[in-house]
Amino acid sequence: MLLTRMIIELSGWPKKLIEESLKQVIKEISKRYKVGKKEFSEVKKIGKKTFSQFVEFECKFDNFESLFGMIIDFGPSVVEILEPDKIEIDSLELQNSISDMIARLKQINERMRAIVATNIILQREIEKVLKDKETKGKKTKKKR
């Protein structure tokens, strides 16, 4: 059993969305893992419209595979192992945990590539629409 302390931070706007989203993240984590003590910070304004809040919480894991899975799925900014002080891990468990982490990272990478490709296509379409609009505007002015 691994006992950890983690911190997850969210930032964005509006303020209420940040508060609700962070509570929802912890609720989702609690469905999949053993969450203990949790403490939410106050929401702080960090920019003109941007707010930030974090939650510090304890979480127990049966093995490294579930710990690594949680890290990949929820992206905590801090992970501190509280217990045990010394860890012995079977090489097969470590190997499986690393393999699972690699597979998840590859999935994330594939999604990111698809998002980037879609973004490029959308940018080209926007530029084309704006250029067509600009060209039509010039033709209308010339006719007058």
Using one digit for the tens of pLDDT, what is the confidence trace for 81-114?
999 999 888 899 889 888 988 998 899 899 999 9
pLDDT of residue 126: 93
Same-domain check for residues 74 and 38: yes
| Structural domain span for residue 13 | 2-88
Q: Which of 88, 108, 131 is the last residue of a domain?
A: 88
What HEC string does the chain produce?
CEEEEEEEEEEECCHHHHHHHHHHHHHHHHHHCEEEEEEECCCEECCCCCEEEEEEEEEEECCHHHHHHHHHHHCCCEEEEEECCCCCCCHHHHHHHHHHHHHHHHHHHHHHHHHHHHHHHHHHHHHHHHHHHHHHHHHHHHHC
Cα–Cα distance, 78 to 41 (Å, whole number): 15
Same-domain check for residues 15 and 68: yes
Same-domain check for residues 67 and 123: no
pTM (two decimals): 0.72
Share of the chain above pLDDT 90, in %: 71
pLDDT at 143 exceeding the cut of 80: no
The two tokens of residue 86 are 């010394």
Number of domains in the chain: 2
Which of 70, 114, 65 lies closest to 94 in space, CA to CA? 65
The radius of gyration computed from the CA coordinates of the chain, to the nearest angstrom, equals 23
Same-domain check for residues 95 and 79: no
